[in-house]
C-alpha cells in the first residue's frame, strides 16, 4: 500500500495562488501599466520618442559600455573564480567577500567613490593623466563603473562549476601528453563556456539598466556620456512623462529579451552538464 506523501508547506493550489498574486502585485501589474501607458501614446508619438538622435546616442552608449564591461568581466571573472576555487592563500575569505561587495554597497556610494578616485585630482586620475587617459566624465568612466558592479555575476556563476569539475579529467589529459594550455583550452574551457556565457549575459543585462554608480562618474553630457536610465530621469524632471514612458518601454523590451536569452543559456548549461 502506497503511503500518501505529505509536504511541509501547504499544497500546490494554495502556494501557486500566493505565487501568482505576489508576482502580479510586484512585477506583472506595474509592467503592464507601463506597456498600457506606452500604447496610449500612439505609434507615431512612441516612435518619434524612441528614435530621436539623443535617445539613439544614449542607447548606443549604453549598449557599447555594457558590452565592453561584460567582456572585461568575462575574462577577469573567470580568473578570479579560478583563483578562489583552485588555490588556498592568506586572505582568501576576505577576497571572496570582496567579490560580493558590489551587491552590498549602495550604487550611489560606489559612484561617488569611483568618481573621487578617477577625477583628475583623484588617486587613479593622477596616475592616468601622464598617459593622456581621462577616465571620469568619459565613456571609459562608465565602463569602469559597470565593470565594478558586474563582476560578481560572472564569478558566482562560474564558482559552482569549477568546484564540481573533476580533477581526474585534467589528470587524464596530462597522461595523454597534453600540456597545461592544451588541457585548459580543449578540456576545461568547453565545460566552463556555458556558465561563462550565462554570467556574462547577466553582467551585461545588469550593466544595461545601471544608474546609481554611473550618474556621478559619467558627467551626464548629452550625446557624449548620457546613458538611457539617466535620460529617463531627465525626461521625468522635465515633466516629459510620455517620452520617459516610451524610453522605459524600450528598455523593458531589451531587458526582457536579455532575460529570455539568459534562461535559454541556463537551459543549455544544464543539458550540457548532463551530457
Express each pLDDT in 152-161 by its tens digit.
999 999 998 8
Q: Is the pLDDT of residue 76 over 90?
A: yes
Cα–Cα distances in angstroms (integers) from residue 58 to residues 1, 6, 65, 79, 110, in the given order: 66, 54, 11, 32, 22
Candidate from 48-52, 182-186, 194-198, 230-234 with smallest mean pLDDT: 182-186
Can you read off the three cell numbers belonging to residue 191?
Answer: 565545460
Can you read off the three cell numbers belonging to residue 35?
Answer: 506597456
**Domain 43-274, classified CATH 1.10.3720.10, yes or no:** yes
Q: Is the pLDDT of residue 228 over 70?
A: yes
- Cβ atoms of 252 and 174 within 8 Å: the answer is no
Candidate from 7-11, 82-86, 233-237, 255-259 with smallest mean pLDDT: 7-11
Q: Averaged over 162-185, what is the pLDDT?
A: 76
Q: Averaged over 130-145, what is the pLDDT?
A: 90
Q: Is the pLDDT of residue 36 over 50?
A: yes
The helix (run of H) or strand (run of E) holding residue 255 is helix 241-274
pTM of the model: 0.83
Question: H/E/C letters for each residue in 7-76?
Answer: CCCCCHHHHHHHHHHHHHHHHHHHHHHHHHHHHHHCHHHHHHHHCCHHHHHHHHHHHHHHHHHHHHHHHH
* pLDDT, position 252: 82
Cβ-based burial of 163 (10 A; exposed 0-12, middle 13-18, buried ≥19): exposed
Tell me the C-alpha distance between 271 and 275, whole Å: 6
57 pLDDT tier (thresholds 50, 70, 90): very high
DSSP 131: G
Q: In terms of residues, how long is the chain?
A: 275
67 pLDDT tier (thresholds 50, 70, 90): very high
Q: Write down the domain spans for the chain.
A: 9-41, 43-274
Q: Averaged over 87-112, what is the pLDDT?
A: 87
Q: Averaged over 31-40, what is the pLDDT?
A: 72
- Cβ atoms of 158 and 195 within 8 Å: the answer is yes
Cβ-based burial of 13 (10 A; exposed 0-12, middle 13-18, buried ≥19): exposed
1 pLDDT tier (thresholds 50, 70, 90): very low
Amino acid at each position: 500500500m502506497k503511503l500518501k506523501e505529505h509536504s511541509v508547506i501547504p499544497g500546490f493550489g494554495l502556494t501557486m495562488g500566493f505565487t501568482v498574486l505576489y508576482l502580479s502585485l510586484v512585477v506583472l501589474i506595474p509592467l503592464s501599466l507601463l506597456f498600457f501607458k506606452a500604447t496610449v501614446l500612439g505609434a507615431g508619438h512612441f516612435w518619434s520618442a524612441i528614435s530621436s538622435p539623443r535617445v539613439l546616442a544614449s542607447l548606443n552608449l549604453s549598449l557599447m559600455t555594457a558590452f565592453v564591461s561584460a567582456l572585461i568581466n568575462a575574462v577577469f571573472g573567470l580568473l578570479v573564480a579560478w583563483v578562489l576555487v583552485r588555490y588556498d592563500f592568506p586572505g582568501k575569505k576576505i577576497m571572496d567577500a570582496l567579490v560580493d561587495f558590489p551587491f552590498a554597497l549602495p550604487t550611489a556610494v560606489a559612484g561617488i567613490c569611483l568618481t573621487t578616485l578617477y577625477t583628475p585630482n583623484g588617486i587613479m586620475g593622477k596616475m592616468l593623466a601622464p598617459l593622456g587617459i581621462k577616465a571620469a566624465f568619459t565613456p571609459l568612466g562608465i565602463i569602469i563603473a559597470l565593470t565594478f558592479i558586474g563582476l560578481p555575476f560572472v564569478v558566482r556563476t562560474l564558482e559552482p562549476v569549477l568546484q564540481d569539475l573533476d580533477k581526474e579529467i585534467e589528470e587524464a589529459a596530462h597522461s595523454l601528453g597534453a600540456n597545461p594550455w592544451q588541457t585548459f583550452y580543449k578540456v576545461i574551457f568547453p565545460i566552463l563556456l556555458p556558465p561563462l556565457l550565462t554570467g556574462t549575459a547577466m553582467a551585461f543585462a545588469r550593466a544595461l539598466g545601471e544608474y546609481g554608480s554611473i550618474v556621478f562618474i559619467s558627467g551626464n553630457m548629452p550625446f557624449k556620456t548620457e546613458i538611457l536610465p539617466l535620460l529617463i530621469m531627465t525626461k521625468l524632471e522635465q515633466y516629459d512623462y510620455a517620452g520617459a514612458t516610451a524610453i522605459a518601454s524600450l528598455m523593458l523590451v531589451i531587458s526582457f529579451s536579455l532575460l529570455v536569452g539568459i534562461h535559454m543559456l541556463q537551459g543549455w548549461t544544464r543539458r550540457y552538464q548532463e551530457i
